[in-house]
Amino acid sequence: MTTRLHPIFRALALPGVFALIAFTLVPVVAGGLYAFTDWRGLGDFRWIGLDNFREIFKDPTTRGALWHTLVLGFALVVITNLVGLGLALGLNRTLKTRNLLRAVFFLPVILSPLAVSYLWKYILDPQGLANQLLGEIGLESWQRAWLGDPNWALIAVLLVLVWQQSGLTMVIYLAGLQTIPDDLLEASEVDGASTWMRLRRITLPMLRPAFVIASTLTLIFGLRVFDQILALTDGGPVGGTETLATQVWKQSFANGRFGYGAALSILLTLIIGALALLQLWALRRKEHDA
């Protein structure tokens, strides 16, 4: 039996549908079309086909931005999941102060990305807290311009992202740990299973749904990170932290190449969608096989 909406309800939905089309679908389609033009934001434009996409892979700066985007995305998935899982296991049930510590570790997640970035920019400054601390403990040889060294700038940005996002994965894994029956863990302990064996055979397999969610969210966040890079390094030094997201902004609004910027945004969207779907497919398949 099918239920049909009363005409008045369909009429009430029309403004929302119109707003969705006007402010979401139309800009997306228009942006996609501009990717095949040389539009510079004002005036006429010329249809140039795939020239913008060809230029992406010929430009060394854009190729570097693509590489940095992938590095940040995959490194963030690995590190934040390891850190978040470790925090979740440590703060699951045993500590009396676990609720306070959970709040402390989750606090960076709800802070403004710009506020976090400016805080870390002060810490990582050549005269900042990090180098001062290294000097105090006798590690002067480790002192460096963390955000001004092309070899360390991307690592410094990754450190800031991990610090801010690990609390999110921690909460996801804590929710997953709450679903594991206590009697199952107690029975395995009675049977003589070691802590490592319980973790490997019971805890980790039952955390697969949480891992799917955490890894997908962190991958998407890592691939489209923008605020932190803009505040910390502005893509420098010498393009050492440029990503596709920062290139979209610079090419579109700084250089006035809206067509080229639209092509970059399409490429970034395709990469995020393809990798997220591939990751979900691989994890779901592994879960099914298990």
* Position 36 confidence tier, pLDDT thresholds 50, 70, 90: very high
More confident residue, 250 or 14: 250
For the range 43-52, what are the long-range contacts, defined as Cβ-Cβ under 8 Å and sequence gap of 24 or more? Answer: 45/259, 48/259, 52/259, 52/260, 52/262, 52/263
* Position 5 confidence tier, pLDDT thresholds 50, 70, 90: low
282 domain-assigned: no
4 domain-assigned: no
Quote the percentage of the chain above a pLDDT of 90.
61
> What number is the average pLDDT over the span 85-111?
90
* pLDDT score of 129: 93
Question: What does pLDDT average to over the chain?
Answer: 89
Q: How long, in residues, is the chain? A: 290
255 domain-assigned: no
* pLDDT score of 231: 95
* pLDDT score of 196: 85
- Whether the link from the prior residue into 113 is cis, omega within 30° of 0, is no
Distance CA 157, CA 117 (A): 9
Here the CATH number for the domain that contains residue 228 is 1.10.3720.10
* Position 19 confidence tier, pLDDT thresholds 50, 70, 90: confident
Half-sphere exposure at residue 173, Cβ-oriented, CA atoms within 13 angstroms: 27
25 domain-assigned: no
3 domain-assigned: no
42 domain-assigned: no
Nearest Cα to Cα of residue 84 among 108, 110, 113, 105: 105
Distance CA 114, CA 78 (A): 24
> What number is the average pLDDT over the span 8-21?
80
pLDDT in tens, 115-124: 999 999 999 9
200 domain-assigned: yes
Name the one residue in this structure whose structure tokens are 């298990």.
Answer: 290
Find the domain containing 155 and state its range: 68-242
259 domain-assigned: no
What is the total count of domains within the chain? 1
